[in-house]
Structure 1
Amino acid sequence: MTDHSFSPQDALVALMITVSASDATIRTSELLTIQSIVNHLPIFAGFDEDRLEGIAQTVFDLLEEEDGLDAIIGLIKESVPDTHYETAYALACDVAAADGKVFQTELELLREIRYEFEIDPLHAAAIERGSRARHLTL
């Protein structure tokens, strides 16, 4: 993955990893959420899980660069059809909510994703509320 080209599925995984890494701590609950999403959602049918490590390394390498986050978002926008931007945002929200807390850095990243993907504010609120509801604990 040294050429930084992503399939649409790779890009969605990269987005989830980016959200997980955004607060400088990748939590087990976030990794389990990513694994569960990749294993169960139809959008990942046929995805080669052996690619996860390489995608994660690409994300980590890019995040070390000065404009790395912009590069990651650019790669995701190039790879994911705009018809699937809301799906991408929903996956990002699920990872952010996975540990029961959404940290300021995650909120800022979600705001950036909403802006870059031109997610309608009402749709974004509904997606966020759904993620929050799915990740509540008793």
Structure 2
Amino acid sequence: MTREQPPHPLSPQDCLVAIMIAISAADANMRTAELVKIQNAVNHLPIFGAYDIDRIGDVSRIVFDLFSEEEGLDALFGLIRANLPEHLFETAYALACDVAAADGNIPESELRLLEEMRHELNIDRLHAAAIERGSRARHISG
């Protein structure tokens, strides 16, 4: 089966957006708080300074198309590894953790995807724990 390729290769920023969209969509319920977190990251983080915000729709479609395929998650990680520089792997994981924690509830499906991301992005356990703790601290509700 041939997969339609994106109009141009994914940029590192596209990969970061894809990771955030993927974690939000993991439980089949993209919550408003998660979408706001993605929008805020793209609008305010320096890594997205020159990013074309219109690409979010394109990247979202790629993620949703991949998620509709049997081996879509593997294909998504393949795209991420092929287009995201290794020095941004921890950034990707941190953004995923922030999106997952944004609504104060991390369902089992998101926890499993975060675990898969740790493995696929080769995030050291200690670094992952620190990133996760930071996300929890930033998103505690009271």
Runs (5+) with no aligned partner, structure 1: none
Aligned to 1:67, which of 54, 67, 71?
A: 71
In structure 1, what is the Cα distance between the partners aligned to 2:33 and 2:109?
17
Partner residue of 1:41? 45
Partner residue of 1:127? 131
Aligned to 1:79, which of 79, 83, 91?
A: 83
Runs (5+) with no aligned partner, structure 2: none
The one-letter code sitting in structure 1 at the alignment partner of 2:129 is: A
Cα-to-partner distance string for 1:69-100 (whole Å, 9 max, x where unaligned): 11111111111111111111000100110110
The one-letter code sitting in structure 2 at the alignment partner of 1:3 is: Q
* TM-score normalised according to structure 1 size: 0.97
Partner residue of 2:120? 116
User: RMSD of aligned C-alpha atoms?
Assistant: 0.8
Q: Percent identity?
A: 59
* TM-score normalised according to structure 2 size: 0.94
How many residues in Structure 1 have an aligned counterpart in Structure 2? 137
In structure 2, what is the Cα distance between the partners aligned to 1:69 and 1:44?
24
In structure 2, what is the Cα distance between the partners aligned to 1:116 and 1:59?
16
SS of 2:103's equivalent in the other structure is coil
SS of 2:117's equivalent in the other structure is helix
SS of 2:89's equivalent in the other structure is helix
User: CA offset at residue 3 of structure 1?
Assistant: 1.3
Runs of 4+ in structure 1 over 6 Å off: none
